[in-house]
C-alpha cells in the first residue's frame, strides 16, 4: 500500500543569504540606537579607512565597525585597552553571518572623557590663536605689586608668600580669593581675573602681574583650569598673567593661554621676584664699574685736552696759511683746465680724421644690395619648400587616415582601457567590479565589469 505522505510537497527552504538578510532586518528593526560601554581590542584600520574592533567586558565581546565617514569626525583614535562609550545600531554582517554593532559615535569613558574634552578644547583654542607666542604679553622687568588668584586656604598662597618674604619682601601682594576645585571654581577664577582688570582700569589698584594657580592634584582636581571660561578670561587680561597650576608635570589649558607658565606656585613667585641679595651684588658691581669708567673718561679727557692745546694756533696765522693755499690751488686749477682743453681738442681732431677715413656709407650701400638679392632668393626658396612640404603633408595625411583606429571605431568597434590607461586585450587581466573606459567613435564611456567570460 503506498505511503500517503510521499505525495506531500517538501516545506519551503531559505538560502543562507536569505536567512542572514532576514536576521539582519529583524535586528535592525527591533533595536533603536543604543549606548554600549566596554574595552577596545583587536583594533584594525584597513586601507579603506574604516575601523574594525571588538568591544568586550569581563563576560563577553562583540564585533564593531565604524565607517570612515563617521570616524573622520572624531578628534582622537582609540587604541587597544581604551575604555569607551559607543552609540550604535545593532546589525548583522550578512557575508559571514556575524552579529555586529555599527558605530555612529564614539567617546572615551571615565577619565578618558575628560582627556578627550581637554584635547578638543586645546585644538579649538589653538586654531583661534590663543596659544600664539605673538599675542603673549612680556612680563615687567620689575614688580612692586603682585595679584594672586587662588584659594585663600590652599598651599599655593602659602608657598608664594614664603618665597616673596625670602627673596623680595618689598613686593605688595593682593589676594583674589577663589575656589580652585568644584563646579563653581572656573566661574570664580574667571570673575576674579576680570575683577582685577576692572579695578586696574578704574584706578582702584595697580598690579604689575597676576599669578593664577593652585597646588597639584588629579585631572579632575585641576579641571577648573581647563575650562574655556578661564582660558578666555586669561586671554582677555590686560595684566600679564603667570599660570602656576599643579606640580611640574601638570599642564593645563590655562598654562598654554597665559603669558608665562611656571611649574609650581613657588616657581611663579621666584620668576616674578628678584633676589634682594643678587640685586645688592649687582648694585655693588655696577658702582665699581661706574667708578672705573668715570676715572678712565677723566684720564682720556685730560690727554685729549693736552693734545689739542699743542695743536692750537693763532687765528691770524691760520688765515694767512689758508689764503696762500687757496691762491696756489687756484693757479693749479687754471693750468689743469687749459691742459685738459688742449688734450680734448687734439683728440677730437684725431677722431674726426679717423671717422672720415672709415666712413661706412659705401659699405652700407653694398650691404643693402646684398640684402635685397638674398631676400629675393629666400622668398623663392621658401615658396618651393612650402609647396614640397604641402605635397608631403597631404601624402602622409592620406597614409595616416588609412591606418587610423578612428576608422575602425566608426564601424562600431571600441577601445577598452583600464584605470591606468592601458589597453585591455585579454579578459583575464581584469576582475569583476573593475572600472574600465570604452573609447567610441564619438565620446567615451565609463563601464564596470559585471562578469567575465
Instruction: Identify the CA nearest to 107 among candidates 68, 145, 77.
Output: 77
Is the confidence at residue 126, as pLDDT, over 60? yes
Cell of 284: 655693588
Q: Give the model's pLDDT for residue 201.
A: 94
Average pLDDT of the chain? 86
Q: Give the model's pLDDT for residue 361.
A: 76
Give the three-class secondary structure for 358: coil
- Averaged pLDDT for residues 239-256: 85
CA dist 326 and 143 (Å) reads 66
- Averaged pLDDT for residues 195-215: 93
Is the confidence at residue 279, as pLDDT, over 80? no
Identify which of 70-79, 304-313, 366-375, 435-444 has the greatest average pLDDT: 366-375
Instruction: Identify the CA nearest to 43 among candidates 11, 66, 68.
Output: 66
The pTM (predicted TM-score) of the whole model is 0.43
Q: Give the model's pLDDT for residue 217.
A: 76
> How would you classify the pairing of strands 241-245 and 34-44?
unpaired
| Domain positions in the chain | 16-109, 142-277, 362-403, 409-448
Is the confidence at residue 111, as pLDDT, over 60? no
Question: Could you give the count of Cα atoms lying within 13 Å of 389 in the half-sphere of its Cβ?
Answer: 6
Query: Higher pLDDT residue, 443 or 403?
Result: 443
Q: Give the model's pLDDT for residue 97.
A: 84
Residue 75's contacts (CB-CB under 8 Å, 6 or more residues apart) are 116, 119, 120, 123
Is the confidence at residue 6, as pLDDT, over 60? no
CA dist 188 and 212 (Å) reads 12
Q: Give the model's pLDDT for residue 178.
A: 95
Q: Give the model's pLDDT for residue 7.
A: 56
User: For 16-109, which CATH superfamily applies?
Assistant: Nucleic acid-binding proteins (2.40.50.140)
* Among 97-111, 313-327, 337-351, the least confident range: 313-327
Is the confidence at residue 299, as pLDDT, over 60? yes
CA distances (Å), 130 to each of 138, 210, 223, 259, in order?
15, 18, 19, 10
Q: Count Cβ atoms within 10 A of the Cβ of residue 239 and give its class: 0-12 exposed, 13-18 middle, 19 or more buried.
A: middle
Instruction: For residue 3, report the phi and psi dihedrals to the nearest 5 degrees.
Output: -75, 125
Is the confidence at residue 317, as pLDDT, over 90? no
Instruction: Identify the CA nearest to 65 among candidates 43, 35, 95.
Output: 43
Could you tell me the pLDDT band of residue 419, with boundaries at 50, 70 and 90? confident
- Averaged pLDDT for residues 128-140: 92
- Averaged pLDDT for residues 13-32: 83
Cell of 410: 566608426
> Is 211 in contact with 225 (CB distance < 8 Å)?
no
- Averaged pLDDT for residues 230-246: 93
Give the start-end residues of each E strand in 222-307.
241-245, 260-261
- Averaged pLDDT for residues 330-335: 88
- Averaged pLDDT for residues 210-239: 89
Give the start-end residues of each E strand in 110-256.
145-150, 172-177, 209-214, 241-245
- Averaged pLDDT for residues 264-270: 91
Q: Give the model's pLDDT for residue 328.
A: 80
Could you tell me the pLDDT band of residue 5, with boundaries at 50, 70 and 90? low
Q: Give the model's pLDDT for residue 276.
A: 72
Predicted confidence (pLDDT) per residue in 68-93, tens digit: 998 887 767 888 988 888 989 998 88
- Averaged pLDDT for residues 202-209: 93
Query: Higher pLDDT residue, 430 or 194?
Result: 194
Cell of 433: 567590479
CA dist 451 and 448 (Å) reads 9
Instruction: Identify the CA nearest to 250 among candidates 262, 232, 235, 268.
Output: 262
- Averaged pLDDT for residues 289-301: 89
> What CATH class has 142-277?
alpha beta
Q: Count Cβ atoms within 10 A of the Cβ of residue 436 and give its class: 0-12 exposed, 13-18 middle, 19 or more buried.
A: middle
- Averaged pLDDT for residues 127-148: 91
pLDDT > 90: percent of the chain: 33
Amino acid at each position: 500500500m503506498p505511503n500517503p505522505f510521499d505525495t506531500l510537497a517538501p516545506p519551503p527552504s531559505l538560502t543562507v543569504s536569505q536567512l542572514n538578510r532576514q536576521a539582519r532586518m529583524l535586528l535592525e528593526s527591533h533595536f533603536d540606537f543604543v549606548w554600549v560601554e566596554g574595552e577596545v581590542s583587536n583594533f584594525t584600520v584597513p586601507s579603506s579607512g574604516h575601523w574594525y574592533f571588538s568591544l568586550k567586558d569581563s563576560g563577553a565581546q562583540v564585533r564593531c565597525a565604524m565607517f570612515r565617514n563617521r570616524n573622520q569626525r572624531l578628534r582622537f583614535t582609540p587604541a587597544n585597552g581604551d575604555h569607551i562609550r559607543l552609540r550604535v545600531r545593532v546589525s548583522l554582517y550578512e557575508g559571514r553571518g556575524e552579529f555586529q554593532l555599527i558605530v555612529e559615535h564614539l567617546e572615551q569613558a571615565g577619565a578618558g572623557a575628560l582627556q578627550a574634552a581637554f584635547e578638543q578644547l586645546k585644538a579649538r583654542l589653538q586654531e583661534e590663536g590663543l596659544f600664539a607666542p605673538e599675542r603673549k604679553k612680556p612680563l615687567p622687568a620689575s614688580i612692586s605689586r603682585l595679584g594672586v588668584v587662588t584659594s585663600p586656604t590652599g598651599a599655593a598662597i602659602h608657598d608664594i608668600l614664603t618665597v616673596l618674604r625670602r627673596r623680595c619682601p618689598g613686593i605688595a601682594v593682593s589676594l583674589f580669593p577663589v575656589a580652585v576645585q568644584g563646579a563653581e571654581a572656573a566661574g570664580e577664577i574667571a570673575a576674579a581675573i576680570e575683577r582685577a582688570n576692572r579695578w586696574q582700569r578704574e584706578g582702584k589698584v595697580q598690579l604689575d602681574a597676576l599669578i593664577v594657580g593652585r597646588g597639584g592634584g588629579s585631572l579632575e582636581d585641576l579641571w577648573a583650569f581647563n575650562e574655556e571660561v578661564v582660558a578666555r578670561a586669561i586671554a582677555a587680561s590686560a595684566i600679564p598673567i603667570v599660570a602656576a597650576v599643579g606640580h611640574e608635570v601638570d599642564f593645563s589649558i590655562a598654562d598654554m593661554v597665559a603669558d608665562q607658565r611656571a611649574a609650581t606656585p613657588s616657581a611663579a613667585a621666584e620668576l616674578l621676584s628678584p633676589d634682594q641679595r643678587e640685586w645688592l651684588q649687582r648694585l655693588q658691581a655696577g658702582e665699581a664699574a661706574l667708578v672705573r669708567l668715570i676715572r678712565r673718561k677723566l684720564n682720556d679727557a685730560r690727554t685729549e685736552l693736552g693734545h689739542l692745546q699743542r695743536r692750537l694756533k693763532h687765528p691770524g696765522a691760520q688765515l694767512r696759511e689758508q689764503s696762500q693755499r687757496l691762491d696756489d690751488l687756484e693757479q693749479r686749477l687754471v693750468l689743469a683746465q687749459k691742459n685738459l682743453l688742449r688734450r680734448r681738442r687734439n683728440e677730437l681732431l684725431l677722431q674726426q680724421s679717423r671717422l672720415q677715413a672709415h666712413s661706412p656709407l659705401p659699405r652700407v650701400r653694398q650691404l643693402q644690395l646684398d640684402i635685397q638679392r638674398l631676400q629675393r632668393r629666400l622668398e623663392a626658396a621658401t615658396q618651393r619648400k612650402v609647396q614640397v612640404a604641402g605635397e608631403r603633408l597631404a601624402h602622409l595625411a592620406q597614409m595616416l587616415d588609412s591606418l587610423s583606429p578612428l576608422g575602425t571605431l566608426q564601424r562600431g568597434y571600441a577601445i577598452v582601457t583600464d584605470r591606468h590607461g592601458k589597453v585591455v586585450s585579454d579578459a583575464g587581466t581584469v576582475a569583476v567590479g573593475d572600472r574600465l573606459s570604452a573609447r567610441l567613435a564619438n565620446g567615451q564611456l565609463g563601464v564596470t565589469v559585471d562578469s567575465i567570460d
